[in-house]
Structure 1
Amino acid sequence: MRTARRASNVEVPSFLRQLVKETEKMVTFFFKGGPSERVPGEEENLNEDDTMPSPYLERPILEKHVSEGGSRMGLNYAVASMQGWRAHMEDAHTCMPQLKGELEDWAYFAVFDGHAGVTVAQYCSRNLLDHILTTEDHKPFNPREKERIQNAGGSVTLQRINGSLAVSRALGDFDFKEVDWRPETEQLVSPEPEVYELERTPEDEFLILACDGVWDAIGNEELCAFVRNRLQVCDDLRDICAQVIDLCLYKGSLDNI
């Protein structure tokens, strides 16, 4: 497997920087309950520890980590990642184009979207080897997910669980799994994945695995059309992955990509 690092040439629009600042102000205002009234003559006491740290950077980190590989079965792949606007890189991935032993006809690829830290994503990338394909986004505002959250005593505010967590199924996040009398799959956050088994056909062109830094910025059909178009003029999968990252950044993605 070869690994390369490339810088992005995308010029970040000024409106994105302004959007980050305004979003941070709005979220801070909501969670802190707005400005407090002060007693006349009372000295303003502002402590840096009372200020909510921003999840975003003043400027995005555009350095890309790009790699490629393949297997004896003729399976070729490439992967690219970038920290982007986020203060930390919290996502991880695993690429195993050919497993060993009785599973030598199998390949394993996974993207782990971390939040509130990278520990769980990195642990899963090293240890979680399960042959699944998740094809539905688990968002708190989806009707079925919202019903489970409300049944567990929670709410969906700002499209987040209790106004905080943006995903409704995840490993970890034990603060959202504390209803003792409910089973694991009926908590505010469920660890249960949705599993689909799909037969490959000769018409299959490629498979895209990505985190929500991609899918929140571009739809399935649009991204497939973009990749298909690029494959007609470029045979370097690493370059195409890097171009997808640039496209999502340009379309306004504020997450790790």
Structure 2
Amino acid sequence: MDLFGDLPAPTNAGCKNEASPVEEKTEEMDEKVEERGEKRKRDGDLDQQQVEEKDEAEKKVCKGLAKLKGVVAARRGEREEMQDAHVLLPNLSECMKTLPAQVSRLSYFAVFDGHGGARASQFAAENLHHTVISKFPKGDVENLDKLVKKCLLDSFRQTDEDFLKKASSQKPAWKDGSTATCLLVVDNVLYVANLGDSRAVLCRIEQTDSGDENCVTLALSKEHNPTIYEERMRIQRAGGSVRDGRVLGVLEVSRSIGDGQYKRCGVISTPDLRRCQLTPKDRFVILACDGLFKVFSAEEAIKYVNKILQQDSGVDGKAGQTLEEAGRYEEACQRLASEAVRRGCADNVTVILISIEF
């Protein structure tokens, strides 16, 4: 804005002589004031544009995305060593330099159940998500779903190869192995990749005809053990055998990270992949090792957690998750793990409970 816009403009009407030095100086001052005014206007427009772009970016991140919060409970049980490992990264996108244009948020949660030692599970917990970050699609992509699945497949293979290379270089060679159940959330889409017998289950609330709420359990993973027909056939074609429900009578799972001595017998590191679109009806996800599911069915675990969450709730789901509600998720997770031990599970027990709020 011109500071002198409300003053009458100088005029030379009826004056035949050239402007005096005083008039020339006044005109120069007017020009400088106008330039400063225009500069301030341009700077103001630029600042406003930057604010609008920032607001738009924030809206892109927040618009319609479910809020995810994870808590974990781990129990050693009667084992001498804790061989489970876990990872909770609700803001994995902060670890990445660039994301595809259509992606606003990435989250990552994982449970690893080691056997023969804790080194394979620890290695997978420390490295798998870094490999996912390095292989995740970047820039403008056309088929994001296909590329995300390829990223997970390649990341599992790479992690297995890296661990086996490290294990074989030791003296004596490491014989550790580990299951893996990983949940990668791309905006509001769940991608679950799993090996072995750790599991992921989703609680979805649906209304019955009478108007009551019904808690539905959705399996997000598939178990891999040598008693399953397809798994047994692959092992036998590779020259291995299944005795007493185990590979060579020893290994309980037919897919894993590590277990180098069983790779020649058909044990592979290719995960099962499942995709699930989150809805406002979804309440929480449980990721847990088989220590939980030895004494809980998936349906029992879901109902057990849901019952604790409903106790003295009094919270309007639309009002957002309160501190009290977050505390109930923590309590539910801890009590579920403790109940598994109380029911007689002698194995390690690790449970991740992920709340979902729209």
- What TM-score results when the alignment is normalised by the length of structure 1? 0.65
Distance in 2, matches of 1:162 and 1:81, equals: 30
Are the equivalent residues in 1 in contact too, given 2:75–2:338 (CA < 8 A)? no
Return the letter of the residue paired with 1:110: A
Residue 218 in structure 1 maps to residue 272 in structure 2: no
Greater strand proportion: 2
Are the equivalent residues in 2 in contact too, given 1:98–1:106 (CA < 8 A)? yes
Aligned to 2:257: 171
Aligned to 1:90: 83
Are the equivalent residues in 1 in contact too, given 2:78–2:346 (CA < 8 A)? yes
Are the equivalent residues in 2 in contact too, given 1:169–1:191 (CA < 8 A)? yes
- Cα deviation for residue 87 of structure 1 reads 1.8
Matches within 5 A, 1:160-239: 160-178=246-264, 187-233=265-311, 235=325, 236=327, 237-239=329-331
Distance in 1, matches of 2:122 and 2:104, equals: 24
Aligned to 2:238: 152
- Residue 139 of structure 1: SS of its match in structure 2? coil
- 1:130-152 Cα distance to aligned partner (Å, 9 max, x none): 43413011111111111111222
* Percent pairwise identity: 36
Distance in 2, matches of 1:82 and 1:247, equals: 10
- Residue 125 of structure 1: SS of its match in structure 2? helix
Distance in 2, matches of 1:147 and 1:87, equals: 35
Task: Indicate the RMSD between aligned Cα atoms, in angstroms.
Answer: 2.0
- Cα deviation for residue 73 of structure 1 reads 6.2
Aligned mate of 1:75, from 51, 58, 68: 68
- Residue 86 of structure 1: SS of its match in structure 2? coil
Distance in 2, matches of 1:74 and 1:126, equals: 25
Distance in 2, matches of 1:76 and 1:94, equals: 13
Residue 251 in structure 1 maps to residue 330 in structure 2: no
Q: 1:192 to 1:212 in 2, by over 3 A?
A: same
Are the equivalent residues in 2 in contact too, given 1:148–1:188 (CA < 8 A)? yes
Unaligned runs of 5+ in 2: 1-61, 133-183, 185-190, 195-220, 313-324, 350-358
- Cα deviation for residue 250 of structure 1 reads 2.3
Return the letter of the residue paired with 1:176: Y
Distance in 2, matches of 1:227 and 1:73, equals: 20
User: How many residue pairs get matched?
Assistant: 179
Aligned to 2:225: 139
Aligned to 1:114: 114
- 1:178-213 Cα distance to aligned partner (Å, 9 max, x none): 3xxxxxxxx421110001111111111100000011
Greater helix proportion: 2
Aligned to 2:321: none
- Cα deviation for residue 104 of structure 1 reads 5.3
Distance in 2, matches of 1:81 and 1:75, equals: 20
Are the equivalent residues in 2 in contact too, given 1:98–1:104 (CA < 8 A)? no
- Residue 77 of structure 2: SS of its match in structure 1? strand
- Residue 154 of structure 1: SS of its match in structure 2? coil
Distance in 2, matches of 1:74 and 1:194, equals: 26
Q: 1:192 to 1:245 in 2, by over 3 A?
A: same
Distance in 2, matches of 1:217 and 1:141, equals: 20
Distance in 1, matches of 2:226 and 2:128, equals: 24
- Cα deviation for residue 246 of structure 1 reads 1.7
- What TM-score results when the alignment is normalised by the length of structure 2? 0.47
Return the letter of the residue paired with 1:152: A
Return the letter of the residue paired with 1:78: V
- Cα deviation for residue 225 of structure 1 reads 0.7
Return the letter of the residue paired with 2:256: A
